[in-house]
Amino acid sequence: MTRPAAAGRCGAGLRVSDMDVGEALDLGREALLTVLIVASPIMGIGMLVGLTISLFQSMTQLQEQTLSFVPKIVAMVGIALLLVPWLAGLLLEYARELLGQPPF
């Protein structure tokens, strides 16, 4: 499949090259790693709070579904608000790296 002549030029007369498979795989790997790093603290705190509440419920034989849901949400929102500067910096660094090198 060939490109039209106008689509082959970019900005100041630079030739647009096709992305090879290695670059595409690197971009995908970096995106998945960034998502894992951003989501893991929030999901981890939700898991720890859920485990703690489950242990408390099993020891007291209190089986209320909303008792485990509300503390997990509060803890996850709290840790997300606490880590906003770090998470935003990480995402901005990834965006700068992604936009700094044209992938096409």
Predicted confidence (pLDDT) per residue in 24-37, tens digit: 888 889 999 999 99
With 60 as the cut, is the pLDDT of residue 104 above it? no
Question: Is 73 or 67 the better-scoring residue by pLDDT?
Answer: 73
Q: What is the pLDDT of residue 14?
A: 44
Greater confidence (86 vs 20) lies with 86
Q: How far is CA 60 from the centre of its chain?
A: 37
User: Residue 23: is its pLDDT beyond 70?
Assistant: yes
Q: Where are the domains of the chain?
A: 19-100
- In the prediction, which pLDDT does 7 show? 45
CB 80 within 8 A of CB 45: no
The answer to whether the CB of 95 falls within 8 A of the CB of 34 is: no
pTM of the complete model: 0.67
Banded pLDDT at 17 (limits 50, 70, 90): low
Residues composing the chain: 104
Mean pLDDT over 45-71 rounds to 88
- The per-residue pLDDT for 5 is 46
